[in-house]
Structure 1
Amino acid sequence: MHNAVQILCVWLVGQPIIGLAWAASIGQDDLNQDTPYNRELLRQAKVAEIESFMDQKADPCDDFYTFACGNYKRINSAFSMEVITTGVFETLTKGLNRKILKMLNTAHDIHDTPEDIQVKHFYESCLRIKELNGTYSGKLKRLIAEFGTMPVLEGSSWQEEEFDWLGTTARIAFRYGIAPILGIEVNKDLASNQRNRIYLGQQEFPLESRSMYVDNATAMYRQRYRSSIQRILQRSLGVKSELARQTAKELVDFEVDLAQGLVDDSEGLDLSELTELLTVREIQERYSPTLDIDRLVFVSMGERVSDQIYEYNQRYQRNLVDVIQRTPLRTVANYMFYRLIWEFVETPADKPEKQQKVCLDLTKKFFAKNLDNMFYRRYNNEKSSREIDSMWRQLKATFNETLHTSPALDWIERPTRNLAIAKLQAMRLQVNNYAEDNFTEEFADLNLQSADYVENVRQTSLLAAKQMREMLHKPAKPFEAGSQLSYTPANILIENIIKVPVALLQPFYIWSDVYPSAVMFGTLASLIGHELIHGFDDSGRKFDAKGNAYDWWDEKSSGNFLKRRDCFTKQYGRYVYDGIQLKESAAQSENIADNGGLRLAFTAYRKWFESQSDLAKERLPSLRYTAKQIFFISFAQIWCNDAHPSVKALQVSTDQHMPGKFRVIGSVSNFDEFAKEFNCPAGSAMNPNEKCILY
């Protein structure tokens, strides 16, 4: 629900570049042969890729992104490739998806566990959605009938006085874990992460963020959403066109009203400001009589709860009181039942390849952990695991030394620096392979078959809701965020753990032991360094060495942090993206992590570089740049990307990460070492006189 994004501090993604096309033609087995010929071939291919993206006529001191990525859009145009975005993470995801599809489309083999076979059944049932035909609508209507009647289907015979919206949402939550409008979930206690607590707050919003509902720039997405609702009402429930159109408008208007209470990400509020630990009775008194919180919790959990629970984002509940009082119950009922069936509706694609892609995404939605584990068991690459672990140890040692001795961190008082050192020492890195998970236990009540997609989703939802309720009385397990952790590294603040996705284990995309260390540090190390710095950014610094929410900063150091953060707010607020002025935002976690991650990776690389006696491998054939320049070029090319023209306004409104261009130029323009390596004159665009620096 609500707190996953807050706790995660995930950095993004767009979605892939072209990848190394030659790798597919040569064959993986050939590449795995460690011969001088292959090593040279791989190095030449890396040079070709690096140079193909660059515009070497551009002045690196004027615009380093154009210098490093100026040709990228021409080669990987999102518009011509008919995708939302292109970038290195899209390429990694494509590579992972190809392997997962191969697993899912392969008849059961010796690698398959009984749980793998059930996941394959789920995927197969999605491929066979067309076979449901006329029975699909009936299945959805039976789901609605479990909880009452839907006005748009009942017409004038619908009885408003019989509809209890809060009781209905609680019953839906208890049975299927779906919480229309307002709900609860069980997750780790922020302040004491060895136990679980209940969190009460907003539903998951289909358009995700407040800006998607209130900004003028995102109006077209609300229009598309409204059209999608209309189509579902017509095709899946048989509602006539005009009535479906009017109902869809009412539902979106209601959802926009609800979204007024969502958190404005630009305010930079952290979890301590958004959550409050209260008794159920205290929350009940806050919103009674409009919101019967006591009954909501009791029915959703199936038991009386005497422990305190977290209320998340009080603004949402206060807004909800007003919205519910002025909204016709007919609209509320239509909305709730639409949100119920929305989880079960899937329209068949017109081509088998598209259907496979849709079904892969749906299988990831419900079984991301299983797919990552299946991939890991089949494609585990010991070289990559060793490389990631080695990089982690070097970065950790480098930041430890910086915290101990660097005058650049004198703005942090010594006692607070000592606590930061303790947090760093406790921080761990883990490949997100789920090797320790007991899938047999998790699947004990499932019996997924390949014929009925709706029934499979129903069973899966029933089990997930039951397991979530049971968590309240069990020790806390590792935090989960579904498919988010499959494609992007993340710092799980509540555990003080960095999780690396299995997608990153694939060789040749950003790492290979035949590449110069400059490339490895510029890419892999800067990504891991980014996550390490998240542990000390605006959100991360409010979690201690054990991963519990606790503000361990002294007042003077905290004040210094906020002053320095303000520099980033002003810097990044000056950028203009595709004619759109970016907002000044107090939320600077991603920019702080980009800047700090780059500095940390370069410092670690410089230490490595100075310790070597033979640096011949650091030069790439025919590439006329120094090793340290290659480091910065490699860093920049992680963020080479292109976005489809239709989504650029969406990017600006919804993504806390800067567009790739500004992730590059923002970071390098704050770094004296970059200016030194490229001989950028003082006062040039990439070497301004005033720089923003935290770590």
Structure 2
Amino acid sequence: MHTKSTSNTSYRSVPTNVSFPSKKCSISLLSGIIITLLTSIIIVLCFLYTIERSKTRINAKDTCDLCLTPDCIKAASSLYESVDETIDPCENFYEFTCGKWIKNAKISAEKDAQSIHLQMTTRLENALVDLLSSTPSNGTIESKAITNARHWYNACVNRNANKTEDILTIFSFIQKELGGLPLIEGLAWNESTFDFYRLMFKLNQYNSFKLYTVKTIIDYKNSSLRSILIYPTSPLIDMHLLTIEGMKIIELSSVVLSNSLQATDDDASHQDVDLVDLQKFASKISEYKNISNLSLNDTIRTTVSNLSHAINISSDFTDYVRRLYLFGNVSLIDTDVVTVVAPDIIRDSLSFIGSQSPRTVQNYLILHFITNENSIMHKRFRSIGQSYRNRSQEISDEQLHRVGCAKYLSTTMSSVVSQIYVQKYFNKDARKEARKMFRNIRNVFIHMINQSTWMDSESKIMTIKKIQAMKGKIGYPDYFENDDMMKLKKEYEYNFNSSFTFNGLHLNQLHSKTHFQSLHDPIDKNEWLHILPTTMNGHYYILLNDIIIPAAFLQIPHFDNNLPKYLSYGGAGFIIGHEIAHSLDDNSRDHGMYENEFSLWTNETIEALNERMKCVVNQYNNYTFTQVNRQLEGERTQNENLADIIGLKQAFFAYKKWTKSQKNVDKKLPGLTKYSNEQMFFINFGYTWCKIMSDEVANIYLTHDTHSPSEFRVIGSTSNFIEFDQAFGCKPGQGNSRMNKCYFW
């Protein structure tokens, strides 16, 4: 079911600076091209024969109306193999669009789910492996940063070769920098050397797991400034998992910890005592650390000078925060703003930790460090984190090794890896078209707001101003098109040594330092924050009022510059509309337009929206996810459900607007000629949400995710849309058409 990474490269521009190969290389290259072309032709002919063999004839006009490019053939094949025409689209549109895909999809050993989104992610991962493992063509001059990225990737792939060296590096680092691991040192570990805040500082310094996260953010109340955010971090060995697997997690944590013991010899009796104490500690600390339902409403906003007093804890905590920023060469001033999430949890958990054995606390934090940093460690240590993350599944470490290295490099050397990805898989023309699509959808939403009857004029005016001011960051940051690439040249140009683990720790330290350094820097509103071009998702950033749609997401089936626009609007267009709609939900509405928080709507308009939201909440409360026989929670998912409903309308109306100025441009796909362009818009929308998952994952999803399951994202939004009914001839009251539709804009 996985598509190879090369499937998206057919439209990229041909480089003009290619050197001429030798005759032998030319013959080899020509042979490869011929084989590729013949393979493509055979696939195309087989597909066309299969889908058209029942037809008596194809007239010339029909042929001219078909899109027969390789990209169109691939898209048509995927959709044809997904749609189940035995299902009435008016009864269950999700089963209609995904029926055959669901029957054929399988959950692999290393994953608890499969979906179109996950298939795209796999394709992205394979592309990153290909990019990082390849060598530049003759005559190509790469920056030192890119050369370092390739060098480090190879070091990652081959890191098991230096077995003794890397294991010694890890143990030496834990011993010298983090204070050691009592679990393996036995009675030799000196409890008097334990310093909780020193250990927390070191873990933060190396950007690793810490009990309390301290980070620099754009201030929630004033987006022209940065401030400090502090919140409790959910532990990796967490009581939350006990609700899923019961006591199994305790047994599994023992297995994981025992795996770590195999790396050294120590007295078993001391290890057994340590493990028992550790399990008790993990169970208790998780009671304080379950923050999945916390929000910014459970916060204290204060200043550095008043931090300890505001949350009623020792001044040692404030000193710890000051020390972190000094690591980034920033001296905190008393008036620097600090937002503390869940101050009660921080205070109570600190009190509990203070009452515990230093030995147990040290073991807990160091083992979390090993689990968290397994990506930069030797195979022997990596198996600890992998065993925990995959629980009882048997997974080959080497099976995921290259992908793991590529993913690690794509986050730690993000600008470098993103730039070479964009060069190959997302050209300027694609970005230009995606930007046009964003502007079209945004303008359509403004028109929808203008036409609404339930908003008062004052709220309409302010809302339209906010939507007009919204920025679309599409594909990649603007500086990627700068030939000098100064930002890339400044990053990651230090010299590596031979130890992959040492280099990984060093780079973590650089990232952490850069993060703390930014506190007093001016805000660059064109910067991409937290989202990379290689991210497989869209995002609305509340404080800057912009949406980010990365290059990796703008691939088939979401978007392709060479495909009919009904596919791109039904795929990426829906996500763009969804993210735009988030700007008006109750989490985002009063932020992003001005530097300070403000009231966008009058109380009357807010009340009118809340009344209409009851319709959405009731609709989704009445859905049952039959796989695990659980009802959806309409209250918890209401903002995402609203964004789905509004996003689909925006994308569809924007597509219809585009067709008015581009008549008869979109051609039909082979095998799917019976469907109108409007129907194909909805079919590709539904197809992008095809998904299967295990019962365990389904229960986690229903309990914690703020989105509805894929099936109900498709059914819920289409059933509220009159234009969907018209496209498929559905009658209100049928399974996929609500009699009383929830209407907003």
- Tell me whether the two structures share a fold, i.e. TM-score over 0.5: yes
Q: C-alpha separation between the residues in 1 aligned to 2:623 and 2:222?
A: 40
Alignment correspondent of 1:65? 94
**Which of 292, 301, 309 is residue 285 of structure 1 equivalent to?**
309
1:587 Cα deviation after fit: 4.5
Deviation sequence 1:65-96 (CA, Å, 0-9, x none) = 111111112232224x7543332322332333
Question: Are the counterparts in 2 of residues 218 and 653 from structure 1 also a CA contact under 8 Å?
Answer: no
Residue range with higher mean Cα deviation, 241-250 or 472-481? 241-250
1:359 Cα deviation after fit: 1.2
**1:487 counterpart = 2:536:** yes
1:638 Cα deviation after fit: 1.0
**1:153 counterpart = 2:184:** yes
1:485 Cα deviation after fit: 6.0
Q: C-alpha separation between the residues in 1 aligned to 2:506 and 2:302?
A: 33
* 3-state SS of 1:673 partner: helix
Superposition map of 1:209-228 within 5 A:
213=240, 216-219=243-246, 222=249, 226=253
Question: Are the counterparts in 2 of residues 55 and 71 from structure 1 also a CA contact under 8 Å?
Answer: yes
Question: Are the counterparts in 2 of residues 530 and 598 from structure 1 also a CA contact under 8 Å?
Answer: yes
**1:375 counterpart = 2:402:** no
Question: Are the counterparts in 2 of residues 376 and 502 from structure 1 also a CA contact under 8 Å?
Answer: yes
Alignment correspondent of 1:139? 169
Deviation sequence 1:18-70 (CA, Å, 0-9, x none) = 57998898569989xxx989735544443332221011111222211111111
Q: C-alpha separation between the residues in 1 aligned to 2:378 and 2:159?
A: 8
Q: C-alpha separation between the residues in 2 aligned to 1:335 and 1:203?
A: 14
Return closer, same or farther for 1:224/1:657 CA change in 2, 3 Å cut-off: farther
1:278 Cα deviation after fit: 0.3
Alignment correspondent of 1:9? none
**Which of 545, 559, 582 is residue 511 of structure 1 equivalent to?**
559
Q: Which amino acid aligns with 1:680?
A: C
TM-score under structure 2 length normalisation? 0.80
Q: C-alpha separation between the residues in 1 aligned to 2:77 and 2:247?
A: 40
Alignment correspondent of 1:77? 106
Return closer, same or farther for 1:229/1:353 CA change in 2, 3 Å cut-off: closer
**1:570 counterpart = 2:613:** no
Return closer, same or farther for 1:286/1:159 CA change in 2, 3 Å cut-off: farther
Q: C-alpha separation between the residues in 2 aligned to 1:142 and 1:495?
A: 44
Residue range with higher mean Cα deviation, 542-551 or 515-524? 542-551
Identity %: 21
Alignment correspondent of 2:645? 595
Q: C-alpha separation between the residues in 1 aligned to 2:414 and 2:467?
A: 29
**Which of 419, 428, 445 is residue 399 of structure 1 equivalent to?**
445
**1:557 counterpart = 2:605:** yes
Return closer, same or farther for 1:513/1:325 CA change in 2, 3 Å cut-off: closer
**Which of 326, 340, 353 is residue 311 of structure 1 equivalent to?**
340
**1:95 counterpart = 2:138:** no
Alignment correspondent of 2:707? 657
Q: C-alpha separation between the residues in 2 aligned to 1:158 and 1:121?
A: 38
Question: Are the counterparts in 2 of residues 140 and 341 from structure 1 also a CA contact under 8 Å?
Answer: no
Q: C-alpha separation between the residues in 1 aligned to 2:531 and 2:565?
A: 32
* 3-state SS of 2:592 partner: coil
Superposition map of 1:578-589 within 5 A:
578-584=627-633, 585-589=635-639
Alignment correspondent of 1:329? 358
Higher CA-based Rg: 2
Question: Are the counterparts in 1 of residues 234 and 289 from structure 2 also a CA contact under 8 Å?
Answer: no
Residue range with higher mean Cα deviation, 480-489 or 360-369? 480-489
Question: Are the counterparts in 1 of residues 719 and 738 from structure 2 also a CA contact under 8 Å?
Answer: yes
Alignment correspondent of 1:466? 513
1:220 Cα deviation after fit: 7.7
Alignment correspondent of 2:729? 679
Alignment correspondent of 2:144? 114
Question: Are the counterparts in 2 of residues 17 and 87 from structure 1 also a CA contact under 8 Å?
Answer: no
* 3-state SS of 1:504 partner: coil
1:358 Cα deviation after fit: 1.9
Alignment correspondent of 1:11? none
Q: Which amino acid aligns with 1:423?
A: K
* 3-state SS of 2:552 partner: helix
Alignment correspondent of 2:584? 536
- Count residues with an aligned counterpart: 664
1:429 Cα deviation after fit: 1.2
Deviation sequence 1:338-370 (CA, Å, 0-9, x none) = 233334434538675532122112222312332
Q: C-alpha separation between the residues in 1 aligned to 2:201 and 2:731?
A: 63
* 3-state SS of 2:413 partner: helix
Residue range with higher mean Cα deviation, 573-582 or 121-130? 573-582
Q: C-alpha separation between the residues in 2 aligned to 1:482 and 1:532?
A: 17
Alignment correspondent of 2:368? 339
Question: Are the counterparts in 2 of residues 53 and 69 from structure 1 also a CA contact under 8 Å?
Answer: yes
* 3-state SS of 2:495 partner: coil
* 3-state SS of 2:734 partner: coil
Question: Are the counterparts in 2 of residues 400 and 421 from structure 1 also a CA contact under 8 Å?
Answer: yes
TM-score under structure 1 length normalisation? 0.85
Q: Which amino acid aligns with 1:70?
A: G
Alignment correspondent of 1:500? 549
1:461 Cα deviation after fit: 1.5
Deviation sequence 1:495-514 (CA, Å, 0-9, x none) = 222111121344x4333455
Question: Are the counterparts in 2 of residues 496 and 547 from structure 1 also a CA contact under 8 Å?
Answer: no
1:464 Cα deviation after fit: 1.4
Q: C-alpha separation between the residues in 2 aligned to 1:583 and 1:246?
A: 44
Identify unmatched segments of 5+ residues in structure 2: 10-34, 42-62, 384-395, 481-485
Q: C-alpha separation between the residues in 2 aligned to 1:185 and 1:29?
A: 52
Question: Are the counterparts in 1 of residues 116 and 689 from structure 2 also a CA contact under 8 Å?
Answer: yes
Deviation sequence 1:637-673 (CA, Å, 0-9, x none) = 1101222455333333343222211111111122222
Question: Are the counterparts in 2 of residues 574 and 581 from structure 1 also a CA contact under 8 Å?
Answer: no
Return closer, same or farther for 1:221/1:501 CA change in 2, 3 Å cut-off: farther
Question: Are the counterparts in 1 of residues 126 and 403 from structure 2 also a CA contact under 8 Å?
Answer: no
Alignment correspondent of 1:166? 197
Alignment correspondent of 1:8? none
Identify unmatched segments of 5+ residues in structure 1: 1-15
Q: C-alpha separation between the residues in 1 aligned to 2:710 and 2:260?
A: 39
1:562 Cα deviation after fit: 3.1
**1:356 counterpart = 2:387:** no
